[in-house]
Structure 1
Amino acid sequence: MRPGATVTVALEPRPTGSWPQPRSSNPMLAIVTSTATDSKGVTRVTVRAARTGAVTITWGPQSAPVFTLRLSVAAYPVQ
């Protein structure tokens, strides 16, 4: 993705409860801009890329995340 772009992740309900709060490994590169859970239990999280580089968004403890999203932010289209 490119700087300024956003991605929204839709997470299905978990049988063990709600999703943990997401964390960016480097908020200078990408930041979680919104998180919301609807009446059906689906959680939507939007992440905005700020600068070029690689960043990881994790849900749960860093040592054993429940879910991991890895993003590469490039200044130009990558094929």
Structure 2
Amino acid sequence: MSEETADWMAPPDEDILELMRSEDVFAPDHVDDAGICRGPDAAYRCRELAKRGLLRKHAPGLYDLTDLGERFLEGEVDPTELESTE
């Protein structure tokens, strides 16, 4: 991950992305099961990460890591430059 942080980021975001990296498609409930944050908070963070292009939403509650998300975790993307798509 980049050393930079952005105002839109929250503490569990990197852990959520790392967890998503380990699976093909993932649900916020799995984030809760992993003890990263509560399910409703995970659902909100997944929506925010999807707005920035780091996750792709396949269906309600089903996400996976995008190529941009992979590059972010590798430290190749500055999160302060990621704009919301909404």
**TM-score (norm. length: structure 2):** 0.26
More strand, by proportion: 1
More helix, by proportion: 2
**TM-score (norm. length: structure 1):** 0.27
